[in-house]
Amino acid sequence: MTGRAERITALLRERFAPARVEVVDESARHAGHAGARPEGETHFAVTVVAEAFRGRGRLARSRAVHEALGAEFAGGLHALSLTLRAPGEPGAE
């Protein structure tokens, strides 16, 4: 079975062809809190640097990521901390 971090990474690569993608499972930091599950895999920090984001506002970028990960939200993904940049923007490196 593949873990959620790997699935998220694969979905983001497929959707955005990103120059960089980083997915960090932060579930352990939220253990015991509402929405956390004993098996973990609920809270992730995601950084995506992709040309696809250029010219799009913050809401549009986040919505595109939420849409790409719709099945994961339906399957227990609870929180995403998103850093979404086009190449060359501050924070993209």
Nearer to other proteins, 1 or 36 (CB): 36
Nearer to other proteins, 1 or 85 (CB): 85
* Whether the Cβ atoms of residue 76 and residue 42 lie closer than 8 Å to each other: yes
Nearer to other proteins, 13 or 63 (CB): 63
| Sign of the CA dihedral running 30, 36, 40, 45 | negative
| Residues within the interface to other proteins (CB under 8 A) | 30, 33-35, 58-59, 62-63, 66, 73, 78-83
Least separation, in Å, of the C-beta of 36 and other proteins? 10
Number of neighbours of residue 27 by Cβ within 10 angstroms: 22
